[in-house]
Amino acid sequence: MRLSSGLVALSSLALLASGCSAFSDDTKGDDGKVSVAAAFYPLAYVAERVTEGTGARVDLLTQPGTEPHDLELTIKETADLADADLVVYESGFQPAVDDAVEQNATGATVDATKVVDPLPFEEHADEEEHDHDHGDLDPHFWQDPLRVADLADAVADELAGVDADHADAYRENAAALRADLTTLDESYAAGLADCDRDTIVVSHDAFGYLEKYGLHVASIVGLSPDAEPTGAVLGELQDLIKTEGITTVFSEPLKPALGASFADDLGLTNGVLDPVEGLTDATADEDYLSLMKTNLATLRSANGCR
């Protein structure tokens, strides 16, 4: 539930009047610990790794099992954002978060789009593929581990300014995370270098950044997993599947029906490729690194990589 404009206005007045958050009494001043509000899972993973061992609290605004594209903030989630010493978000991806940051954030902010150099769609999509109508930039930067590492460095630098006592720890944690992400990047590059096929068909357009590893990505719908595919796009995908000898259509954990239905219609294998936008009940014990490693193994199997 998004806050009404009236409630937002009243909250803003209360903030001005009291000099503290009108949403919650659980602030840094109460427990002396830094709090970070992260808009959705990959950002929360970065925040948790960077703050490890410092006692900081990370609040995830997009709850597990929830599609991040469709997020509407509750009052509690807005309170977490308002009280946070740092908000990590990605402008243009979740309008409700953008609005809340503008209207309610009182701490520092890190906007991932200002840090990770997001790709415009035309850099990783063929011009003949279906159009994208949700903006000019691809928000799914976390499919590129090195861009995630850049975000971690920015989060560590911002937290060092907020909490100088743990500045070294934040930067050391970010460096350790960069090492893990560099290894992951190298694994993708090596693992996808020698394959029988280099094209994948996915349900929604969340994997464009994988094209850096030589993959070609074709999607049933664009940025929004709730969109409906057009007959023209389905026809083009069927031709592509026949031409390339594709055996697998990938669905995803949060929205499995679209890819599964298309695969069934064509008599193809329905695989699962996780866009790592959020955790589910089935992946509650996983994390960004393990999910990305599982995706790599899945891609290698589907494309006949050696």
- The pLDDT tens digits for 157-175 are 999 999 999 999 999 999 9
pLDDT > 70: what percent of the chain? Answer: 84
CA distance 188 to 302: 14
Instruction: Supply 1's token pair.
Output: 């539930």
Taking a C-beta distance cutoff of 8 angstroms, is the pair 62, 112 a contact?
no
- pLDDT band of residue 59 (cuts 50, 70, 90) is very high
Instruction: Supply 2's token pair.
Output: 């998004």
Say if residue 133's pLDDT is above 50: no
Min mean pLDDT across 118-122, 220-224, 240-244 is at: 220-224
CA distance 207 to 194: 19
Instruction: Supply 171's token pair.
Output: 């930067």
The DSSP secondary-structure symbol of 249 reads: E
Q: What is the mean pLDDT of residues 199-219?
A: 94
Residue 178's pLDDT is what? Answer: 98
pTM of the shown model: 0.85
Say if residue 7's pLDDT is above 70: no
Q: Is the dihedral of CA 145, 146, 147, 151 positive or negative?
A: positive
Q: How many CA atoms lie within 13 A of 256 on its CB side?
A: 7
Residue 86's pLDDT is what? Answer: 98
Min mean pLDDT across 161-165, 227-231, 245-249, 292-296 is at: 227-231
CA dihedral 205, 211, 215, 219 (to 10 degrees): 10
The DSSP secondary-structure symbol of 305 reads: B
Say if residue 51's pLDDT is above 80: yes
Residue 289's pLDDT is what? Answer: 98
Taking a C-beta distance cutoff of 8 angstroms, is the pair 133, 222 a contact?
yes
CA 74 to chain centre: 20
Residue 125's pLDDT is what? Answer: 43
Say if residue 299's pLDDT is above 80: yes
Q: Of 45-54, 61-70, 117-126, which one has max mean pLDDT? A: 45-54
Q: Rounded mean pLDDT of the chain?
A: 86
